[in-house]
Structure 1
Amino acid sequence: MTRGEKSYTRLGCGAARRAATRQATEDADATSVYPKTTGQFEKMAHVSDSYIDAECNGDPSAAADDSPCYGWALDMAMGPAMLDADLTIDEAR
């Protein structure tokens, strides 16, 4: 398996996960109740898929401030904290 094939496989899994999350969100009507939280879920899934698709893991250039990989890594690191804050905001409404 080549590196590109491996990424494609992972991306496919991410797309399936995102589709399942979106369907569960729609089934529970969670988007209207938790708009910020569901938006953060979507952002985290997109960032994760982008990071994998660009093969950022282990890429030495990913540490450069101007690299998209660097930005995605920061978004993934901050995602859980943002998710917690968004959930708190949604529940306060």
Structure 2
Amino acid sequence: MKNLRLFIIFVILLIIFLPGFAKFQELKAKLAETEEKIRKAQRQNAILEQRIAQLQNNTAYLEMVARDKMGIVKKGETVLKIIREDEVDVVNQTNASKE
């Protein structure tokens, strides 16, 4: 009889605390995921801060970015643009639709 009471108490405690424990494990996993996202964002921020510092302090880097990303050229330079065959079709279609 005493063993039955202990078993019933154990089952009742298990029923009461098992959902809470499962929720705790779920929240723990979400916390770990969120902390990883934070670490990733911090790494990206550090990289961006380095780029900002380079753009502010390194004129050669600034010129390289301006040339590569924005297509800026110096006065007197000739710009050559190489178009791949698949780009030629797109340019021809665009020009045909404008006419």
Q: TM-score over 0.5 for the alignment? A: no
Higher relative contact order (CA 8 A, sep 6+): 1
- What TM-score do the two structures reach when normalised by structure 1? 0.36
